[in-house]
Amino acid sequence: MKLNARIRHARRCANLSQAELATLVAVGRSAVANWECAGDTSPSTERLAKIALSTDVSFEWLATGRGDPALHQLDLIPAVDALLVDDPAERRLVEAYRSCTAAVRQVLSQFMESQTARSANKAEK
């Protein structure tokens, strides 16, 4: 399903008109109509996040078509705070980090934060 169809599907499942969604996202109705057409117009990432919140769908599903469109009680990250990872190496790191135990994640986080601090100190010198 393409982005325009996912936007339309999310809006209809939320029982919103194009005008109602436009109001929630702070755009004109014609913008929503353009996003739902098969043309080249698509919303910015910020507006896509607002659409996801307004229609109670997963940001990942709305943006990429991957995953489950429904939000779940276990979703810990609001759509507006989600990070999009485009780099394959970064995606592998995120996936590996998420599969670790809490203790390992804590050690990894401390290590990475120390490396960031070390880089900042080198830049100041």
Tell me the mean pLDDT in the region 90-115: 86
- Concatenating the DSSP letter of every residue in 26-68 gives TS-HHHHHHHHSSSS----HHHHHHHHHHHTB-HHHHHHS-S-
User: What value does the mean pLDDT of the chain take?
Assistant: 82
Residues in the chain: 125
Percent of the chain with pLDDT over 90: 29
In angstroms, the CA 9 to CA 51 distance is 11
3 state SS of 17: coil
Task: Give per-residue pLDDT as tens, 19-35.
Answer: 999 999 999 999 999 99
Task: Give per-residue pLDDT as tens, 54-93.
Answer: 998 988 888 888 877 776 544 455 555 566 667 888 888 8
Select the more confidently predicted residue: 75 or 109.
109
What's the pTM value of the predicted model, to 2 decimals?
0.57
In this prediction, residue 78 carries a pLDDT of 55
